[in-house]
Amino acid sequence: MLDILEKKWPEILDFFKKEYDIQDITFETFILPLNVKSYKNGLVQLVFTGNSGNSGLQYINKRYFDFLKISISIILGEDIDLQILLPGDSALDEDIEETKPVSSIDSEDIILDKRISESHLDKKYTFDSFVVGNNAVAQATSLAVADAPGEVHNPLFIYGGVGLGKTHLMQSIGNFVLKADPKAKVLYTTTESFTNEVIDLLGRQKKNQDEIIEFRNKYRNVDVLLIDDIQFISGKERTQEEIFNIFNELFLKHKQIVFTSDRKPNEIEDIADRLTTRFQQGITVDIQSPDYETRMAILKNHALSQGIKVTDDRDDFENNNILEALDYIASNFVTNVRELEGSLNNVIAFSKINRVPITKEFAIDTLKVDNSEEKITCQTIINTVAEHCQISPADICSKKRSQDIAFARQICMYLCRVYTDEKLETIAKYLKKKNHATISYGYNEIKKAMENDASIKATIDILKKKLNPK
Ligand code: ADP
Ligand code: MG
């Protein structure tokens, strides 16, 4: 029996890897170190010889046990039971899996859930739910970091456009580490909330030393620190100083630090050079807009998470209709995964409400209706003006005073007042202005200029058309 299993082992591994779409790095870390030990009375015993020892074993049991069991059963053509042991384990009771009290598994899950929420993570963001597609480098690097925190790439700096999965990947690292190592401490924070903490604590007239120490310890006593959207650190000196100190301490202790940003480290303005250098010290990976195949895969996954299974079967009429609808969405929402998923959500929701099957025509109708009702936001205005004036949105929202940037900024002030119901304070926040009177001033300047200068009026008219083509 054992020799049959040994002979078929490569085939089993191959099947397992393909069937469950296991990434190379995961496969090498957790699956290849599994050796066949015995096969008797329908029970297969494997030994895990990987470096991660017991924590690796726990992880395999939790995540891959069923997949392995099914793969072995299918290739052997026989329903088997499975046990995975560590090298030192003596022959174990054959029914150890069964005798394991269910409640202990439950309580393991409860403990993990608690650790996830204490780490400020969302458990839906995992490597499993991330469609790799054309982001193999970002994904594999993140997984490598998760697999050996503090050891391979420190810090990891992930950058890329809005809605492309930066937060998803970053949180996947956190969730992976928590699951793999029951003792690991992970902390996720956004730069915005970190900044608020700094302002709150260090900006007070009467500083409470205990609170300050508590704040610093919170970030220094972790194994993995995840700081999202670090570009918002720009211009915030105290926050930069805190991050710099935390970084140094964690780095020296070989603790992992991960940043995300909407731009490269050297493109973040108004930050101390010593921080830029730190950000570039480990590895920098970019995350790209998904290509068509990736978008389709993301949509199929997302549909599945909503209870709609889509296969590639074009002969199945209903399935083909859904495929065409997904194809329409994948072809029209190309740059932002959040929008891609949002569009599919709308189509699914409307089809449920109206009890109409999902087809391409239905998707076109739904998304058209939805687009025309889309509100123009300050962000859309800033992006549109930036694109039109060939300036980056970041420059518009910066302190830069060159004439063209200041002018584009005033146009934004004008259009935000005309097109949105936002308060002056909110518009000021978008444009990184401290004083909301600046917004009124900018609005009046453009209004006057439009009356006196036809070319400015023409520019504004074009921008209005771009914003609202109807
Ligand atoms: P970012 O932080 O880059 O702005 P997010 O990580 O918040 O983007 O991603 C936006 C949404 O798109 C999330 O719901 C995320 O789960 C989803 N998403 C992004 N990229 C992928 C991907 N490659 N596979 C699956 N879901 C993705
Ligand atoms: Mg994000």
pLDDT tens digits for range 411-455: 999 999 999 988 999 999 889 888 999 999 999 999 999 999 888
Q: Is the pLDDT confidence value at 102 over 70?
A: no
pLDDT of residue 286: 95
344 C-beta closer than 6 A to ligand 1: no
Nearest CA to ligand 1 atom 16: 168
**pLDDT at 52 (0 to 100):** 76
CA of 218 to the centre of ligand 2 (A): 22
Q: 3-class DSSP state for residue 358?
A: coil
What would the mean pLDDT of 28-40 be, rounded to a whole number? 91
Q: Using one digit for the tens of pLDDT, what is the confidence trace for 212-237?
A: 999 999 999 999 999 999 999 999 99
Higher pLDDT: 9 or 465? It is 9
- CA–centroid distance, 268 to ligand 1, in Å, is 22
- Please classify residue 242 by burial: count the beta carbons closer than 10 Å to its beta carbon, then call 0-12 exposed, 13-18 middle and 19+ buried: buried
Q: What is the pLDDT of residue 204?
A: 79
Give the CA distances from residue 69 to residues 1, 49, 54, 81, in Å, rounded to whole numbers and listed in that order: 16, 18, 19, 7
Please check the confidence at residue 99 and state whether its pLDDT lies above 50: no
150-160 pLDDT tens trace: 999 999 999 99
pLDDT for residue 244: 97
For ligand 1, whether the C-beta of 236 sits within 6 Å is no
Contacts of 422 (CB under 8 A, 6+ apart): 378, 416, 430
**194 CA to middle of ligand 2, Å?**
15
Contacts 24+ apart (CB under 8 A), 426-432: 426/378, 427/378, 430/378, 430/379, 430/382, 430/397, 431/378, 431/382, 431/396, 431/397, 432/235, 432/397, 432/398, 432/399
Q: Is 163 touching ligand 1 by the criterion CB < 6 Å? A: yes
What is the pLDDT of the chain when averaged over all its residues? 90
| Ligand 1 binding pocket includes 165 (Cβ within 6 Å) | yes
Which is nearest to 406 in space by CA: 441, 370, 356?
441
Compute the distance from residue 22 Cα to the ligand 1 centre, in Å.
20
Q: 154 is written with which tokens?
A: 């420190």
Predicted confidence band of residue 106 (pLDDT cuts 50, 70, 90): low
Residue pair 147/276 in contact (Cβ under 8 Å)? The answer is: no
73: CA distance to ligand 1 center in Å? 35
> The whole model's pTM is what?
0.63
Nearest C-alpha to atom 25 of ligand 1 is from which residue?
130
Which residue's C-alpha comes closest to atom 1 of ligand 1?
163
Note the pLDDT of residue 93.
Answer: 44
- Tell whether ligand 1 has an atom less than 6 A from the beta carbon of residue 420: no
pLDDT of 138 reads 94
| pLDDT tens per residue, range 185-201 | 999 999 999 999 998 88
Q: Is 162 in the pocket of ligand 1 (CB under 6 A)?
A: yes
Q: Whose CA is nearest to atom 19 of ligand 1?
A: 165
Question: pLDDT class for 62, splitting at 50, 70, 90?
Answer: confident
Looking at per-residue confidence, does 368 or 166 come out higher?
A: 166
The dihedral built from the CA positions of residue 147, 152, 154 and 160, taken in this order, carries a sign that is: negative
- pLDDT of 104 above 90: no
Q: pLDDT > 70: what percent of the chain?
A: 95
Q: Among 343, 189, 334, which Cα is nearest to 258's? A: 189
- Residue 171 CB less than 6 A away from ligand 1: no
Confidence of residue 97 (pLDDT cuts 50, 70, 90): very low
